[in-house]
Amino acid sequence: MSIDAIGEARRQVEICNACRYCEGYCAVFPAITSQRSFLDGDIQQLANLCHDCRGCYYACQYTAPHEFDLNLPKALGQVRRDSWHQYSFPSGFGAVFQKSGLAISLAVVIGFAFVFWIARQFAASADGQGFYAVMSHGLMVAIFLPAFLLPLFSLMVGLRRYWKAVEGAPVSASHLMSAMHAAARMKHLSGGHGEGCNFEDEDRFSNARRWWHQLVLYGFLLCFVATSSATLMHYLLSMPAPYAWYALPKLLGVPGGIALSVGTVGMLAVKMKSDSALSDQRFYGGEVGFIVLLFLVSTTGLGLYWFGDGDWLGAWLAVHLGSVLAFFLLMPYSKMAHGFYRMAALTRDAQRGAEHS
């Protein structure tokens, strides 16, 4: 963790605590005003609680050219990303990804797709239908199960380290439900007034960023549930793929894939319209890389559904599997980590709210 980043964020937070003009803007400011001093863990908690709506910046009377030169979204953003790097396991690669995420994402996708394609050319035809005529179910499980579980384990190690740093207490059902409720509604992307945030265009309030995030979140969850239902159907009901369009994996996966594809395009468009001066541009490549990676996963999956028959099936499958494998392996170091840390921060905020009530 950068000492300068923590120190600068602490300086700005202490000024905000004295001013308190933005107290009703989001969860960050009530958390600030509930304390008199801020340890490093407190600053990291505030940073991961911040949703970067930027309303506080445009309302602030102490931004440049004032001598206080406050830019709280940027200061907390740097601490937030530094915390992911600090607690990642194994550490070190996260910072590299955040700087060159787009190039790394594309390189990994292309590399894995090429490996899958070459392996397909030299392997005998698998015994199965649809995708399984190209690559057997057993081989897919052997590749993707470790690629999913190992990054998930890495994230859990990082979250445990974060939870210790912010002095998190044992989690109760009420605290977890409060955090999930806030995350599901994207509550803190609507601003304290409910009219949206200022991420896109300074003083203009907009809920567009909230809507795109919701499309991505619920699209991802639908795809996850679709995959889980296919797994249960395969192992418990002896109903292997391919499935008809009216089967549960398709009824959930196709709308989920569409929502995820549309949502990532919207998120990228909003990001490109935002003021770059309010974010640390060292992390721009990582954020764009993550959005592009999600788009590739969902869009290539839809491509398999709509255009994957016949001669194109092997090529589509290679690109899709390469995208999914890259997404899994890069998950602890990409912005995917922010969803896990945000949930942890919301849960800790619910705990602190109960402690001060």
Query: Of 57, 85, 113, at which residue does a domain stop?
Result: 85
* Whether residue 177 is found in the same domain as residue 318: yes
Higher pLDDT, 216 or 127: 216
Q: Would you say the C-alpha torsion 93, 96, 97, 102 has a positive or negative sign?
A: negative
| Number of domains, the chain | 2
* Whether residue 225 is found in the same domain as residue 196: yes
Residues 6+ away with beta carbon under 8 Å from 317: 116, 131, 134, 135, 304, 308
Of 200-204, 230-234, 352-356, the least confident: 200-204
Global pTM value: 0.86
pLDDT recorded at residue 15: 96
Query: Of 63, 85, 107, at which residue does a domain stop?
Result: 85
Instruction: Residue 343: give the domain boundaries.
Output: 90-356
* Whether residue 23 is found in the same domain as residue 137: no
* Whether residue 36 is found in the same domain as residue 165: no
Q: At residue 1, does pLDDT exceed 60?
A: no
* Whether residue 45 is found in the same domain as residue 109: no
Query: Of 85, 116, 148, at which residue does a domain stop?
Result: 85
* Whether residue 42 is found in the same domain as residue 113: no
pLDDT recorded at residue 279: 83
* Whether residue 72 is found in the same domain as residue 145: no
* Whether residue 162 is found in the same domain as residue 238: yes
Per the prediction, the chain carries an average pLDDT of 86
Q: Would you say the C-alpha torsion 91, 291, 343, 198 has a positive or negative sign?
A: positive
pLDDT tens-place string over residues 19-49: 999 888 888 999 999 888 999 999 999 999 9
